[in-house]
Amino acid sequence: MATSISNVLVPFSSTHEASFRFIHPKFPTSPLTRCQKSIKVVKHSNASTSIAAEQEHGHDEAAPPHRHQRETNKHMLEEAWREIQGENDWAGLLEPMDPLLRMEMIRYGEMAQACYDAFDFDPFSKYCGSCRFTRRNFFSSLDMSHAGYNVTRYLYATANINLPNFFKHSRWSKMWSKHANWAGYVAVSDEARSKRLGRRDITIAWRGTVTRLEWVADLMDFLKPISSNGVPCPDQTVKVESGFLELYTDKEEECGYSKYSAREQVLTEVKRLLEIYEKEEVSITVTGHSLGSALAILSAYDIAETGVNGVGVPVTVMSYSGPRVGNVRFKERLEELGVKVLRVVNVHDVVPKAPGVLFNEHSPAPVMKIAEALPWSYSHVGVELALDHKNSPFLNPNADAVCAHNLEALLHLLDGYHGKGERFVLASGRDPALVNKGCDFLKDEYMIPPNWRQDENKGMIKSNDGRWMQPERPKIDDHPEDMHHHLSLLGFSSFDIMHG
């Protein structure tokens, strides 16, 4: 018998979206966290009653064996954070999945997802291409007040690069910027979060492309020495994809937002924050999805290569659905610098398979030796965790290819993954409805509308005289006044500083 929608809706607050949780007889159950145990079913069928009751009492028949034992025996995060950040290349933490590591991977993935949720991609908004919120209200505006981080700087990239599916512009002649797009943010953990983490954490989150996959075809797919764009490297054979490098290093002097390159913005902010917290233990975590993952890997390399992180400050990349970035020598140089990269991918996603379709890490060693001089010979970096959306009972196995690249879907897969051969069971009770926030991936039987996240009235408000209008936004932050000071400390030439 079909259950009406009024019978299955349960109020539920996700990690950063106010939504509803759908209680359904086919949903695998898992223990609720302390805050979730207050969930009550207002109106229910017999089926939803039994499942709600199981959740109320922490019933967990479907959980993989020994998971509870592993969770209770594991050190607290504040004691194990270096291991979680990849000190030992996550040896023994992925198979089976360590609960602390899963929690952190989802948390950093949500910080990357925030870049999408905050981005204004509406061409009918004069603020299209910017962030919809101020720095001070960033996390609270996304229902992420619990994040425990303060955004210290917004990052901008110039739209001069040939990546049209990354950049968005308003259709109106009056717009906030003709040359720039908001590309992400830098945030630092507050006192309470730092205490739980066991250190002060500087996080850099990069935005990826919004929905489409066509940006892969926009890539020049041509390797060039990373030093050719001013990024220091003692080895000319260390090469990266030219489009990624241009996006990271290009600037537009006529634009207040992109008069400094994304590279200059990141390095100066990290240096400034490390000076503030020089007497504390600090970590640098860089996160991004899709093209944002490529920028995350590039910026992490740059931070380590230039020595901005100083001595003893680990640099870790949490990468989601990212493409290949450079050649084998780039991979080796990252390892020499001690940068740790954990890549999470969906095996059915096409983006992690590009660029470098012909010559890559899967090619026989003799072939790669011959091909290493070619401008199309790529290699993935770091440690890979490969997930399969066909293992989730929630997801349509035959959905559109774009769905396999969706970040919310990947976080859903992370939440249900316990190890190879283990049953898919949601560990944290993360709302499956989030998967359909920006795509159509959940099975129809769960009755979650596709692409359900949208702004009320498309951002229009009523003025005092009763007329509908687009509201003005507070002045968008550009760059701090001490930018030149930190550029000089980093050794940038006087020409670069004068033209910044």
Kindly list the catalytic residues.
Answer: 290, 349, 405
Provide the residue count of the chain.
500
d(Cα 405, Cα 131) in Å, to the nearest integer?
22
Are the CB atoms for 305 and 337 separated by under 8 Å? yes
Are the CB atoms for 260 and 167 separated by under 8 Å? no
Picking from 131, 120, 123, 177, the residue whose alpha carbon sits closest to that of residue 154 is 131
Are the CB atoms for 272 and 482 separated by under 8 Å? yes
Picking from 293, 313, 284, 320, the residue whose alpha carbon sits closest to that of residue 105 is 320
The values of phi and psi at residue 294, to 5°, are: -65, -45
Are the CB atoms for 39 and 11 separated by under 8 Å? yes
d(Cα 41, Cα 53) in Å, to the nearest integer?
9
Tokens 């007497």 identify what position?
Answer: 279
**Distances in whole angstroms, Cα of residue 492 to Cα of each of 232, 269, 310, 487, 496:** 11, 14, 17, 6, 6
Are the CB atoms for 16 and 205 separated by under 8 Å? no
Residue 253 C-alpha from the chain's centroid: 29
DSSP symbols for 315-363: EEEEEESPPP-B-HHHHHHHHHHT-EEEEEEETT-SGGG-S-SSBSTTS
d(Cα 22, Cα 211) in Å, to the nearest integer?
25
d(Cα 407, Cα 20) in Å, to the nearest integer?
19
Residue 240: enclosing H or E segment and its boundaries? strand 239-241
Residues 6+ away with beta carbon under 8 Å from 307: none
